[in-house]
Amino acid sequence: MSTQAFHAMHHADRPLLLPNAWDHASGAALAAAGFAAVGTTSLGVAATHGLSDGLARTREQTLALARMLGDLPCPVSIDIEAGFSDDPGEVAEFAARIADTGAAGINIEDGRPDGLADAGHQAELVAAIRARVPSLFVNARVDNYWLSIDMSTPRSTLDRAARYLEAGADGVFVPGAADNATIAALVDGIEAPLNVLHLPGRQTVAELTELGVRRISTGSLLFRRAVHAAVQAAEAIRDGGTLPPGIPGYDEIQRLADGGARN
Amino acid sequence: MSTQAFHAMHHADRPLLLPNAWDHASGAALAAAGFAAVGTTSLGVAATHGLSDGLARTREQTLALARMLGDLPCPVSIDIEAGFSDDPGEVAEFAARIADTGAAGINIEDGRPDGLADAGHQAELVAAIRARVPSLFVNARVDNYWLSIDMSTPRSTLDRAARYLEAGADGVFVPGAADNATIAALVDGIEAPLNVLHLPGRQTVAELTELGVRRISTGSLLFRRAVHAAVQAAEAIRDGGTLPPGIPGYDEIQRLADGGARN
């Protein structure tokens, strides 16, 4: 699906609400439900394979998911954690393989298992991707808030965002920024579309729109809800309870294998 | 996990309620919720990979899932569709590879894309598995009702069940048998634990227990509910609605990667 269309979704009348998938069925079902684009959740990709998130253990699984989502009738953005390597050439090569699947964008994060990456090194990764795959929407994730590091002012986040944009990023993702004042300061201080994570009980999509956010991700929330709902359903069956109405039938799920076209 | 314990669960005070997983996270979450054993759903395995169910397309994915579920703290039974081959030796070899993952049992079905397998040939597949992996719980699925073939009396189902048991099956699974009289006739006429599929709106687990069923599967229902709940959550976020309480957090899902131990 055209990367151009995906770029444009960050500059439209309304922000892009990007629900995050973890396998083909979830991606196809979200596309069939009418969402304009689909992202991925690295926690979901890791957990479905019995692996830990954020430890660069899901390189092949991430690529396999990107290949599977290549048949969706909407743009797809792939979370590549921190790129699965410290080497800019290797990260750029991986991004190119992701782009080859038809993906319109990627997320790359500066969080590491032991804290934040050196901003200069992270900018090198972004620059290498930019040079290797010019059309891919590169969403640079800044993890100060996510990792609760250096949060007293948005200054550190703004500095990192500026470096990644200078290196060629198309957008900036700041998960974990929770209060209105911080989000407003990030919108003001970042010269590119700001992406935040939807946090249940905090701002609604309408409120984030009002604050000037251009892209709203659901992160791992849909995946966590799916696991939760499956266990709840098993418990309801065990206890003689009832299941919610509207569960798709066997045939409807089978049709998702055809790419989630709205048929 | 011991196949002996899994065999015993089919001959206990209460029937075995076997919820069906499709990836590591769902299996680990069901084990952590206290279910005594976990099965798999071939629809879920196929759909998560963007493939159609029942067409023998998921041999490697099924084996990979079995390997991932090998760390669960409870017995696991793997749905191998029709064995992914017509050759008894190949099917037995595949069952042996499944057993090598630590799985306690398998389901093998006599439904085929074009109807029912020849019962004699299906019995050969069962016999080959029995000879190759003596300890594995072999649940022979009879698909008359599932495929709506020859349903006027349970006779055809009983004949098939008898042949598969003679070939060495440990239990018989008849999905789609919906009314009490049919289920009672199957319980009476099958000389082994009867497994049925829980059908929403039909018998409760208590009613199936009363009818003498020894094992109750949820089939693809939990998977379909998971996909459904994920889309519902995305729509709720989009529309400013609220999400149900109790969704597990990031850390709780990360812990599932440690095998779903009840920690």
Is residue B172 predicted with pLDDT exceeding 80? yes
Return the exposure string of A172-202: e unless at least 16 CB atoms fall within 10 Å of the residue's CB, then b. Answer: bbbbbbeeeebbebbbebbebbbbbbbeeee
Is residue A49 predicted with pLDDT exceeding 80? yes
Residues of chain A found within 8 Å of residue B234, distances taken between Cβ atoms:
17, 19, 30, 33, 35, 218, 222
Angle A23-A26-A31 from CA coordinates, rounded to 5°: 120
Pairing between strand A115-116 and A111-112?
A: antiparallel
Average pLDDT across chain A, whole number: 95
pLDDT of residue B105: 98
B248/A26 Cβ within 8 A: no
The answer to whether A81 contacts chain B (CB < 8 Å) is no
Sequence-distant (6+) residues with CB within 8 A of A60 are: none
> How close, in Å, is residue B128 to chain A by CA atoms?
31
Closest Cβ–Cβ partner in A25, A43, A247 for B48? A25
The dihedral over CA atoms of B108, A248, B21, B249, expressed in degrees to the nearest 10, equals 180
Is residue B260 predicted with pLDDT exceeding 70? no
Report the candidate in A32, A27, A98 with the shortest Cα–Cα distance to residue A69. A27
The answer to whether B181 contacts chain A (CB < 8 Å) is no
The least confident of A39-48, A250-259, B129-138 is A250-259
Segment B71-97 mean pLDDT: 97
* Per-residue confidence band for B261, with pLDDT thresholds at 50, 70 and 90: very low
Residues A204-214: tens digit of each pLDDT? 999 999 999 99
Segment B55-64 mean pLDDT: 94
Residues B118-162: tens digit of each pLDDT? 999 999 999 999 999 999 999 999 999 999 998 888 999 999 999
> How close, in Å, is residue B224 to chain A by CA atoms?
6
pLDDT of residue A261: 46
B205/A240 Cβ within 8 A: yes
Is residue A233 predicted with pLDDT exceeding 80? yes
Segment A37-59 mean pLDDT: 94
ipTM at complex level: 0.96
Closest Cβ–Cβ partner in B35, B230, B257 for A226? B230
Residues A157-212: tens digit of each pLDDT? 999 999 999 999 999 999 999 899 999 999 999 999 999 999 999 999 999 999 99
A225/B230 Cβ within 8 A: yes
The answer to whether B257 contacts chain A (CB < 8 Å) is yes
Residues of chain A found within 8 Å of residue B43, distances taken between Cβ atoms:
250, 253-254
pLDDT of residue B259: 60
Segment B238-251 mean pLDDT: 95
- The continuous run of DSSP H or E covering A234 comes out as helix A221-238
The answer to whether A19 contacts chain B (CB < 8 Å) is yes
> How close, in Å, is residue A101 to chain B by CA atoms?
14
Is residue B262 predicted with pLDDT exceeding 60? no
Closest Cβ–Cβ partner in A47, A200, A222 for B24? A47
- DSSP for B70-90, written as a single string: TTSSS-BEEE-TT-S-S-HHH
Segment B164-183 mean pLDDT: 96
How many residues make up chain B in this entry? 263
This prediction's pTM: 0.96
CA closest to B26 among chain A residues: A227
pLDDT of residue A5: 96
pLDDT of residue A259: 60
pLDDT of residue A262: 38
A262 versus A250: which is more confidently predicted? A250
Pairing between strand B137-141 and B105-109?
A: parallel
A17/B238 Cβ within 8 A: yes
Residues of chain B found within 8 Å of residue A205, distances taken between Cβ atoms:
237-238, 240
pLDDT of residue B54: 83
Segment A240-248 mean pLDDT: 95
The answer to whether A39 contacts chain B (CB < 8 Å) is no
B41 versus B262: which is more confidently predicted? B41
Instruction: Find the distance separating the first CA and the last CA of chain A, reported in whole Å.
Output: 18
Contacts across the A-B interface (CB distance below 8 Å): 203
Is residue B96 predicted with pLDDT exceeding 50? yes
The answer to whether A210 contacts chain B (CB < 8 Å) is no
Residues of chain B found within 8 Å of residue A249, distances taken between Cβ atoms:
224
